[in-house]
């Protein structure tokens, strides 16, 4: 069970990612919660241990708050003038659901690297035949979540 601070911190991270198109820094989170940086760092570690997010090794800043990436990736999801980086195609589809709007995905083919533009509709149809391939089974994604 997450602590109250970790639970609130997670909410702030996701709200910030959605509203500002970026994941807030530790300093911004500390200010928003009006708590010391050490409290934020402990709560972030708690969230990382629970696989709620991934931290950068050196700085302890948030690297991934799935489906959002704090750093540029080949998966750019756009809704109107707003855009976000997703960690993979699976996260790109989830990001569209999180923002509750049809979205566009700029990505590249995992096999040949060709640029792709995909429309991610909020509502899926039964006759939709699009397929995404995942080289690693979902059960093993957290074996090395940054690489996978």
Q: What single-letter DSSP state applies at residue 146?
A: T
Q: 100 vs 35, which has greater pLDDT?
A: 35
Look at residue 148 and tell me if it is in a domain: no
41-99: per-residue pLDDT in tens?
999 999 999 999 999 999 999 999 989 999 998 889 999 899 999 988 888 888 888 88
The rounded distance, in Å, linking the Cα atoms of 130 and 41 is 41
Q: Among candidates 140, 133, 138, 136, which has minimal Cα distance to 116?
A: 133
Confidence of residue 148 (pLDDT cuts 50, 70, 90): very low
Whether 65 and 53 have beta carbons less than 8 Å apart is answered as yes
| CATH assignment of the domain containing 38 | 1.10.10.10
Whether 37 and 25 have beta carbons less than 8 Å apart is answered as no
Residues 44, 9 share a domain: yes
Whether 110 and 116 have beta carbons less than 8 Å apart is answered as no
Residue 145 pLDDT: 62
The rounded distance, in Å, linking the Cα atoms of 87 and 142 is 13
Confidence of residue 141 (pLDDT cuts 50, 70, 90): low
Residues 94, 37 share a domain: no
Asked which of 47, 65, 83 is the last residue of a domain, the reply is 65
Structural domain that includes position 135: 75-143
Residues 56, 101 share a domain: no
Question: In the structure, how many helices (H) and strands (E) does the chain have?
Answer: 4, 7
- Global confidence as pTM: 0.81
């Amino acid at each position: 069970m997450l602590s109250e601070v970790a639970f609130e911190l997670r909410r702030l991270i996701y709200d910030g990612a959605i509203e500002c198109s970026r994941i807030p820094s530790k300093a911004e989170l500390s200010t928003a919660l009006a708590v010391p940086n050490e409290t934020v760092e402990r709560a972030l570690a708690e969230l990382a241990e629970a696989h709620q997010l991934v931290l950068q090794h050196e700085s302890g800043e948030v690297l991934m708050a799935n489906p959002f990436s704090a750093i540029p990736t080949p998966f750019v999801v756009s809704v109107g003038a707003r855009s976000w980086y997703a960690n993979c195609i699976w996260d790109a589809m989830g990001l569209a659901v999180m923002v509750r709007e049809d979205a566009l995905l700029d990505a590249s083919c995992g096999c040949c690297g060709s640029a792709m533009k995909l429309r991610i509709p909020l509502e899926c149809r039964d006759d939709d035949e699009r397929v995404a391939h995942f080289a690693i089974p979902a059960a093993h994604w957290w074996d090395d979540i940054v690489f996978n």
